[in-house]
Chain A
Amino acid sequence: MEEDVKKVKKPGIVSPFKRVFLKGEKGRDKKAQEKTTERRALHTFSLSLPDHRIDPDILLNDYIEKEVKYLGQLTSVPGYLNPSSRTEVLQLIDNARKSHQLAGQLTSEQDAVVSLSAYNVKLVWRDGEDIILRVPIHDIAAVSYIRDDSLHLVVLKTAQEAGVSPCPSTCPDLSKSMTLGSLSESGAVLVEVCCLLVLAVDNKAAAEELCLLLSQVFQIVYTESTIDFLDRAIFDGATTPTRHLSLYSDDSSSKVDVKEAFEAEASTFSFQGSLEAGDNSPSPSSTPASPQTKTASEGELSTTATELLQDYMTTLRTKLSSHEIQQFATLLHEYRNGASIHEFCINLRQLYGDSRKFLLLGLRPFIPEKDSQHFENFLETIGVKDGRGIITDSFGRYRRTASSASDSTTNGNGAVRGDGDVGGSDERLAPSEGDEWDRMISDISNDIEALGVSMDQEGVTP
């Protein structure tokens, strides 16, 4: 039409049509061009071929950006969708494009930037940088690359916040999703649902690059969490107290050299921090109150009791930030000054969060007899009692031994208690032993509080 207009036009006269429409067109083209030139450079790095390897530190401490087109996000997709099935995925996408849930034609309007790190995948518009969405890595179930003629799609299968959705009982692959199945009133079976985040890239190389980057992110994250899993298993096995825990050493000829034991633990071997806790290796300058002054009084306690408590302090310093240690000290102080065990447990659970709730297990030696039942019940409700819930959480690998499952005692009230309770019901502490224990706990608590204060004064930041 433009050409027709040009042919008819006599030289020297500008057609009103041209003046109005073509000027607008030119203006828009010009703006689009300006926009392209105005766009900021992406935060990117050169990757080693052929597998697009990136330095893990970049994913842990930095991020990498790639240009994509954002077609949209499908929600309430049945969780049993096979992300490897080209047919299944394309069928969903085609239906979504027909119903305009996903973009049909690809234009610069879909231009977006995907930002990758070990923590999340973030999607922002290319122009304006408004955030579209953010997906934590642990919410990503699968990543697929589908080539559909000239279209190169990268599809992320992710968790959806609302967990279930009705599905007709005639769904063909119902058996795959029956883990959370239950019948609704209409007779439909409730199934797990997920989301599909649909992106398009320019070509196969770009798609493969994006997939390999995500693969490396998964590797980093799941390596870290596997090591964390190992640390928790060791911690749990090491700190489970024994029923025969006594305040007095069995062998009077073998006094504990607490200082040597503690320093060997702290300086040579320590738990490394997880991704969330950050790197909290104990610093040489922030040693706790010197244990050698405690040796004489601690000598009356058994090795196991002393070492358990000292071990717990060491672990706290590696798992909590300085601010969190202060908070822990405050909570411990409040508890010892009259706050209820219930409040203490709730606040600690909040402080530790889900990933560090196993630290509560190590508190057993701190809990006096009168509160131990409540404490054990609390551990059970949050799924950490005797390691349950820690090891089956993500991997479902833990098998409880018959001995630990069946070994339990009852207290005077007839309530069942689990094994591993300190000062079990059939071994009530004599008053003098209880006083000694109480004094020991006070000393250790004061040490922890002092540790929190000293770290604050040194200006240690997480």
Chain B
Amino acid sequence: MTMEEMKNEAETTSMVSMTLYAVMYPVFNEVKSFSSLAGSEVRSLFGQAEKENPGLTQDIIMKILEKKKVEVNFTESLLRMAADDVEEYMIDRSEQEFQDLNDKARALKHILSKIPDEINDRVRFLQTIKDIASAIKELLDTVNTVFRKYQYQNRRALEHQKKEFVKYSKSFSDTLKTYFKDGKAINVFVSANRLIHQTNLILQTFKTVA
């Protein structure tokens, strides 16, 4: 896959599609548990529809919530649900470095998903931020380790994805600084969701290129 194709893939798998894998995939898995065929089919159909119309799944969910008059903060809920592993993004190579990559990504997503529970207690939230910092560092270290050990034809694509991840990490840091001034937690949730999405894209990129 060329650099351009990777970029297009990432743009297509944009932030809005996070609702599909964070919210709907667990639902499809439940459907699968009593009808494997039905579960696979509906998953495939939704995936196709989302690819053609990014954001479709989110719109459907929002409409359902509206219809049922369910008052829920969608962004916060998405963040709480986003920690789960997404099969499509997990690297299925057995080498230790790739398993580490899966583990570090999972750890980071898990800590980020805890933000809504911790944000109202300053002391605990500061501890969470430190944990996030350590998790980001460990993930990047693991990415660097894979770079060092393996030569790839499409190294540029991997470096680009790493750069994007760093960019969104910095953005998350900036959002936190603003939060401590204005107290608007929703922006932290949005930024955390973006960072989780970038974490998944790193896994996807390594899965595709490696």
Contact = CB atoms under 8 A, between A and B. Distances in A.
B184 interface: no
B7 to A, nearest CB: 10
Contact of B137 (A223, A270, A272, A387): A387
Given A227-B176, A403-B145, A407-B148, A391 B159 contact: no
Interface residues of B, number: 45
Contacts, number: 128
A294 interface: no
Nearest to B97: A403
Given A249-B156, A269-B174, A229 B133 contact: yes
A250 B153 contact: yes
A110 interface: no
Interface string A230-254: 1111101110101110000111011
Q: Which of A234, A270, A398: most chain B Cβ within 10 A? A: A234
A237 B100 contact: no
B208 interface: no
Interface in B146-178: 147-148, 151-156, 159-160, 162-163, 166-167, 169-171, 173-174, 176-177
B132 interface: yes
Interface stretch (B17-25, B67-75, B123-131): B123-131
Contact of B145 (A307, A398, A407): A407
Interface string B113-136: 000000000100010011111101
Nearest to A219: B122
Contacts of B169: 234, 238
Contacts of B34: none
Given A230-B133, A251-B154, A272-B177, 16 more contacts: A227-B180, A230-B129, A230-B136, A232-B133, A233-B134, A236-B137, A237-B136, A242-B147, A243-B148, A269-B171, A303-B156, A387-B141, A395-B130, A401-B100, A407-B148, A420-B144
Interface of A: 56, 219, 222-223, 226-227, 229-234, 236-238, 240, 242-244, 249-251, 253-254, 261, 264-265, 268-272, 303-304, 307, 387, 391, 395, 397-399, 401, 403-404, 407, 419-420
Interface of B: 2-3, 96-97, 100, 122, 126, 129-134, 136-142, 144-145, 147-148, 151-156, 159-160, 162-163, 166-167, 169-171, 173-174, 176-177, 180-181
